[in-house]
Structure 1
Amino acid sequence: MLFRWFESLIDPFKEPADTMPPRPVGRFYLFYLRQVWPMFVAVLVVGFFVSIIEVSLFAFIGRLVDMAKVAEGAAFFRQHGRELMWMAFVALIARPVFNSLHDLLVNQAIVPNVTARIRWQNHRYVIRQSLSFFQNDFAGRIANRIMQTGSSLRESAVQIVDAIWYVAIYTGSAIVMFAKADAWLAAPLVLWLLLYVATLAFFIPRTRQRSWKASEARSKLMGRIVDGYSNVLTLKLFAHTRREEIYVAEALHEQVDKTRAMTRQTTAMDATITTLNGFLIVGTSGLALWLWSHGQVTVGAIALSTGLVIRINNMSGWIMWVVNGIFENIGTVQDGMETIAQPRTVQDAPDAMPLAVTRGDVRFQDIHFHYGKAGGVIAGLDLTVHAGEKIGLVGPSGAGKSTLVNVLLRLYDLEGGRILIDGQDIARVTQESLRSQIGVVTQDTSLLHRSIRDNLLYGRPDATEAQIAEAVRKARADEFIPTLSDGEGRQGYDAYVGERGVKLSGGQRQRIAIARVLLKDAPILVLDEATSALDSEAEAAIQESLDLLMQGKTVIAIAHRLSTIARMDRLVVLDRGRIVESGTHAQLIAHGGLYARLWERQTGGFVAAEDALA
């Protein structure tokens, strides 16, 4: 019950304002820590009492020596009973209580929940990044940075809070107690403290910089490894296992070099601190003995000073590793920040409203888009797709067909012009509502590494079993789904499909994708090479399902196999980002232009074309 109460103090899934995490690294830390500042204040307060108790135990040792020296044995407990009871209370009750409270706050409230909250909020921000963000980086490196940033930020914050009181209380109280016994006794500790701070000031910035480089190299290595695993079929088909080993070895070599550069600083700092600590122990103990020999301090002062400097010696090593760990973690956070704290290139307008589709009319008005490159992919294109009309986009590779679909889905923002759906500018509506009204079957069909059912429910999360079964039947996927199984023994709809659906054939993946869009039942439909993975027999088998799917919808279809779109209401021929021809199949064949030449180059489509014309 106690554990659960502390674990409930922080909600790991609290959602902040959907804004970019700030830079630089200090503001990045503050962005997350201010959300849970009461917990860190509590740890700071409890840490103060923990430190005071630890120091008081050493003070008790000196006090016990002095009491034992002057008291008579038979009267010792009678004379000092109250003070001894207080010492016992501190050691047996206060110390365990405050240490346990500290551990509960850190281990139950902060460690799991703050780490999870930072990861959750980073994931929420990054998952809404534009398509180009993910195309320009390794998926494995992005995931690695999100995971390690959460743990490193939390760990360094806790270490800073813990170190504050240990440094302040131990060194401060030690100086006070030494000076109280004799002012000269505090001199070695003051000198050591100055040299200790100077050592940290010299080494820590260098360690932080090299830690950042080591973390960056580690993320690069992770990205290369995951990239190879994700494309293992390509690796094997081209027999490039050795090439892949070399590719990863290069990143591993870089990571080892950067880690060695960091650990050299750590080793040098450790050697310097250990030497300083030796001088502190010898200097303080020797000075205490010399002062005692001259009658200036008591035996208790010798016990106190010697015991405390040995404790400070141990503590200084701990502080060194803590401070080093803090800046190593800060370097890791800084590396993660480079990926996480990036502005989104495609964002909803502040006053964006949900898209309301009543008819399904789509208009491209003088649109320009170049992927940020010189030269035009699409330049000044105008196109109207009337509600319920079915058009086919035709053209050679690079003509701009898929780009037109990408800007319609607002995967990229236009550089000029606008796109209207039922009179609503898609740049002024929410991205989620826009994409929820458009069903898409792409040529590169990738499924989530989840069950068949989960993949289908992506189309409509609230679909019933009957609706799922109907969509699967229409997509002709009911023939193979019952036969599926995975390594965990799951079968049928519960079977997992592997990463990107690799356990299914191309045709099977395409049928699942079509069933998913059938479930979605959006008023606007985009078919980007929807049947490219199917052989002629399979394509013919689901053509009826596609016809049913297209009924009553506005359809934009792309196909290199022209026979699959010859029956569309209108064909729009693109070349170099411009519309060069438009009309029915028969009109374009008669025209004898680019479409007719493309048609002539293809074989096996004449029967389908004649059927379409008939």
Structure 2
Amino acid sequence: MNAIHSSPLKFIFYFVKKQWISFLFLLIFCGFWSFKEVMFPYFTRNIINALSANSQGDLTGAYLPAFYLILTWVCMEIACRLLAQVKKIVFPQFRANVRKYCFNYIKDHSYQFFTENLTGKLASHVSNVPKSCEKVAELIFINIASVGGACIIGLFLFGIVSVAYSLIALLWIISYFLTLFYFLNQLQQAEAQHSESVSTLDGRISDTIANMLTVKIFSREDLEMDYLRNFQNKEINESKKAINTMEKMKKWHSLQSVIFLSSILSSLFFGWKNSFVTIGDFMLVPMLTFSMLGMIWWLGDQMNLLFREIGVIQSTLNLFNLSTSAKEAINSKKLHLSKGSISFCNVGFSYEPEKEVFSNLNLSIKGKEKVGLVGHSGAGKSTLVSLLLRLYDVRQGTILMDGQDISKVSLKSLRSLISFIPQDFTLLHRTIKENISYGNPNATDADIITSAKRAHCHDFILQLESGYETVVGERGWQLSAGQRQRISIARAFLKGAPILILDEATSALDFETEKCIRRSLSELMKERTVIVIAHRYSTLSELDRIIVLKNGKIIRSGLPDTLFDNENYLI
């Protein structure tokens, strides 16, 4: 996974380059608006000079500039309509490109990245950054480009009257942007911090909504309001800091504008007094001055929006650029399995430097062997499975599958050969058919139904009003725990991976449901290498070997009958 651009503008222009012809047309059409905005005073000046030089009623010399004025307006109207058509084509695709890139990038982060960041916060970033990129691109290629073009033409028109006016306007523009660059870092940091506080608040709200049942059961609605108030206050304070920083810059811009206006008018009076300024010039210069002042002031408000959106992008890039714990190896190879054997060789791992989970762990599992992992909470059972799935990378040692180091194979090929049924068997907010076919997107309807029958869930699916087209709700909560579990098993049947991992897959089920699920699991485990994390003897009794873990070490190993007493308790 290549590093994402850390600069918001570089990130945006990466996507602009993909549509550079369309953005070039945006600049061209905006040029007509720029030309119209400052040429109107110029043509009006020529009309006034022509009329003042003629006798009363003589319009000679006024027709041509009047024609140019009307022609400029017509061209501007046509350009604006064409601009709207180009925007309609450019920006939806631009947003789609950014969204696709961000999702592709974030999905390659490690599992640890997703456990350490709120789901709502991540979703907020992926959702907001395309719109922010679009807004910044629009501000640069339409708003700033239009005003910039108008100012350049305006400087030239000032020079027609006197070079002094051009120099005064140029000095004002330079001072304006020097002030902007002086406050640039402060503005970006303030807006990035504000954006981060907004996304964090969104994440907290999403977390509360996702756990609303818990909130209501414990009657903690008021507590949640107090909890969210702290994040809301942080967002308000960060917003005030960003606004204050922008206002500091605007104070300097206000002073510069007053000096510019005073200098232009003083020079204009001096020119009139010394007879080198015509009556048309006396109209042109103030109109140009107020037009440029208005555009720059409007641009100042747009800058506020620009930096806010850049702050959103910067906050997202900072988050996306966090290092991942499990990385794709350079020139990684595809994993090929024939036997399905697994070996942990002198494996060391820790979530935190001072809290070691495994040290020199050695474990070998034969192909198609069914092994159970038991031990108290914190013994390292789930961590061992996470290392096998490469949700985390080992600190030392190697993990081999059929003699191949899994750190040197592609993550996709590794995980495609493992079916994992976790304790928290949630489903996607999609139809039952889509959830089962997640195990094999190319499966036919017949394959899906066959898998459902093998998982003993076909009958209850047909009893639902929409059958396989039933939408299961967020995380699958519209179905019972047993129904969700059987759909997870059907998905594993459909995937057909040679290695199966069950992590407390039946611990939350009642006895009758577990009996039904156990029949499905027994069939699923046939001819596969199986690792089962469980505590119930009923789940472990059919396995070939039981491994007992304690504090990250293997303390016992043997057949189920040798490790459990007559009452099915671990000896």
For the pair 1:99 / 2:74, whether they are aligned, the reply is no
For the pair 1:506 / 2:481, whether they are aligned, the reply is yes
Q: How does 1:172-571 map to 2 (within 5 A)?
A: 172-186=152-166, 189-190=169-170, 192-193=172-173, 195-270=175-250, 273-274=253-254, 276-277=256-257, 280-281=260-261, 284-285=264-265, 287-289=267-269, 291-484=271-464, 491-571=466-546
Give me the whole-angstrom Cα distance separating, in 1, the residues matched to 2:433 and 2:72: 61
Give me the whole-angstrom Cα distance separating, in 2, the residues matched to 1:440 and 1:597: 31
Give me the whole-angstrom Cα distance separating, in 2, the residues matched to 1:203 and 1:469: 63
For the pair 1:581 / 2:556, whether they are aligned, the reply is yes
- C-alpha distance after superposition, 1:212-244 (max 9, x if no partner): 221111111111111111222222232221111
Give me the whole-angstrom Cα distance separating, in 1, the residues matched to 2:164 and 2:340: 88
Match of 2:72 among 64, 83, 90: 90
Give me the whole-angstrom Cα distance separating, in 2, the residues matched to 1:63 and 1:257: 54
Give me the whole-angstrom Cα distance separating, in 1, the residues matched to 2:295 and 2:209: 45
Instruction: Indicate the residue corresponding to 1:40 in structure 2.
Output: 23
- C-alpha distance after superposition, 1:511-534 (max 9, x if no partner): 111121122221111111122232
Shift of 1:431: 1.2
**Aligned residue type for 1:600:** Y
Shift of 1:116: 2.0
Unaligned runs of 5+ in 1: 1-17, 486-490, 590-595, 603-614
CA RMSD of aligned residues (A): 2.7
Shift of 1:194: 5.1
Contact 1:216/1:335, CA 8 A, preserved across alignment: yes
Shift of 1:195: 4.8
Give me the whole-angstrom Cα distance separating, in 1, the residues matched to 2:393 and 2:241: 43
Match of 2:118 among 125, 138, 142: 138
- Secondary structure at 2:476 match in 1: coil
Farther off after superposition, 565-574 or 230-239: 230-239
Farther off after superposition, 292-301 or 131-140: 292-301
Instruction: Indicate the residue corresponding to 1:68 in structure 2.
Output: 51
Give me the whole-angstrom Cα distance separating, in 2, the residues matched to 1:464 and 1:581: 45
- Secondary structure at 1:370 match in 2: strand
**Aligned residue type for 1:553:** R
Farther off after superposition, 435-444 or 422-431: 422-431
Farther off after superposition, 529-538 or 448-457: 529-538
Shift of 1:127: 0.8
Shift of 1:464: 2.5
Shift of 1:201: 4.3
Give me the whole-angstrom Cα distance separating, in 2, the residues matched to 1:267 and 1:100: 35
Shift of 1:25: 4.3
- C-alpha distance after superposition, 1:568-614 (max 9, x if no partner): 1111222222222221122334xxxxxx5995379xxxxxxxxxxxx
Quick one: structure 1 residues 410 and 598, their matched pair in 2 at CA, closer, same or farther if it must change by over 3 Å? Answer: farther
Contact 2:194/2:238, CA 8 A, preserved across alignment: yes
Shift of 1:480: 3.0
Give me the whole-angstrom Cα distance separating, in 2, the residues matched to 1:163 and 1:130: 40
For the pair 1:572 / 2:547, whether they are aligned, the reply is yes
Quick one: structure 1 residues 148 and 598, their matched pair in 2 at CA, closer, same or farther if it must change by over 3 Å? Answer: farther
**Aligned residue type for 2:77:** P
- C-alpha distance after superposition, 1:247-282 (max 9, x if no partner): 111111110111122223444555654565456556
Contact 1:146/1:340, CA 8 A, preserved across alignment: no
Give me the whole-angstrom Cα distance separating, in 1, the residues matched to 2:567 and 2:130: 54
Shift of 1:119: 1.7
Farther off after superposition, 441-450 or 43-52: 43-52
Give me the whole-angstrom Cα distance separating, in 2, the residues matched to 1:406 and 1:194: 58
Give me the whole-angstrom Cα distance separating, in 2, the residues matched to 1:211 and 1:354: 44
- C-alpha distance after superposition, 1:61-100 (max 9, x if no partner): 11111122224576636x55455434332221x2123333
Instruction: Indicate the residue corresponding to 1:607 in structure 2.
Output: none
- C-alpha distance after superposition, 1:512-563 (max 9, x if no partner): 1112112222111111112223211122223222221111111111111122
Farther off after superposition, 509-518 or 39-48: 39-48
% identical aligned pairs: 32
Q: How does 1:160-171 map to 2 (within 5 A)?
A: 160-162=140-142, 164-171=144-151
Give me the whole-angstrom Cα distance separating, in 2, the residues matched to 1:441 and 1:186: 73
Quick one: structure 1 residues 360 and 182, their matched pair in 2 at CA, closer, same or farther if it must change by over 3 Å? Answer: closer
Shift of 1:123: 0.8
Give me the whole-angstrom Cα distance separating, in 1, the residues matched to 2:38 and 2:261: 17
Contact 2:51/2:58, CA 8 A, preserved across alignment: no
**Aligned residue type for 1:536:** F
- C-alpha distance after superposition, 1:103-135 (max 9, x if no partner): 333x22432222221121011010111000011
Farther off after superposition, 521-530 or 145-154: 145-154
- C-alpha distance after superposition, 1:441-481 (max 9, x if no partner): 11111111111111111112222323322322332323432
Farther off after superposition, 407-416 or 231-240: 231-240
Match of 2:4 among 5, 21, 29: 21
Contact 1:23/1:341, CA 8 A, preserved across alignment: yes
- Secondary structure at 2:548 match in 1: strand
**Aligned residue type for 1:586:** D
**Aligned residue type for 2:569:** E
Give me the whole-angstrom Cα distance separating, in 2, the residues matched to 1:322 and 1:404: 53
**Aligned residue type for 2:84:** D
Contact 2:338/2:402, CA 8 A, preserved across alignment: yes
Give me the whole-angstrom Cα distance separating, in 2, the residues matched to 1:165 and 1:125: 31
Shift of 1:357: 2.0
Contact 2:373/2:547, CA 8 A, preserved across alignment: yes
Quick one: structure 1 residues 311 and 24, their matched pair in 2 at CA, closer, same or farther if it must change by over 3 Å? Answer: closer
Give me the whole-angstrom Cα distance separating, in 1, the residues matched to 2:96 and 2:412: 25
Farther off after superposition, 49-58 or 519-528: 49-58
Farther off after superposition, 177-186 or 345-354: 177-186
**Aligned residue type for 2:498:** P
Contact 1:285/1:302, CA 8 A, preserved across alignment: no
Farther off after superposition, 429-438 or 259-268: 259-268
Farther off after superposition, 123-132 or 178-187: 178-187
- Secondary structure at 1:371 match in 2: strand
Contact 1:388/1:552, CA 8 A, preserved across alignment: yes
Contact 1:474/1:542, CA 8 A, preserved across alignment: no
Give me the whole-angstrom Cα distance separating, in 1, the residues matched to 2:246 and 2:570: 68
Contact 2:43/2:66, CA 8 A, preserved across alignment: no
